[in-house]
Amino acid sequence: MIRAPQLERRCRQDDAYVARRWSVDAASQMRGRIKLDNFRRGTTVTDMLREMLERAFPEGGAAS
C-alpha cells in the first residue's frame, strides 16, 4: 500500500494551497464499498471527498 506524505503540496492554476490529512472513521464494509465504487469510476476516494466537500462548502460560502 502506498501512503501519501503527511503534508502534501499541490498547486492549482489559480492559487497554491497546502492539503492536510484527515482521518475518517467508517465501518470496514462501508470503506470497502466506497473504495470499490471509486475504483469502478476510475477515481480515488480522496478526489471524491474533495468534490463532495467543495459542493457542500463552496469557497463563496453559499452551500448548495
Provide the domain limits for residue 36.
25-59
In whole angstroms, give the CA distance from residue 19 to residue 7.
Answer: 7
Residue 51 has pLDDT above 70, yes or no: yes
41 has a pLDDT exceeding 80? yes
Share of the chain above pLDDT 70, in %: 67
Q: Average pLDDT of 29-57?
A: 94
> In this structure, which amino acid lies at residue 6?
Q
The pLDDT assigned to 2 comes to 47
The number of domains in the chain is 1
Q: Is the pTM of this model over 0.85?
A: no
Query: Residues 12-30: what's their mean pLDDT?
Result: 77
Assign 43 a pLDDT band (cuts: 50, 70, 90): very high
Question: H-helix or E-strand containing 36?
Answer: helix 28-41
- Distance CA(9)–CA(60), nearest Å, equals 23
In a domain, 45, yes or no: yes
47 found inside a domain: yes
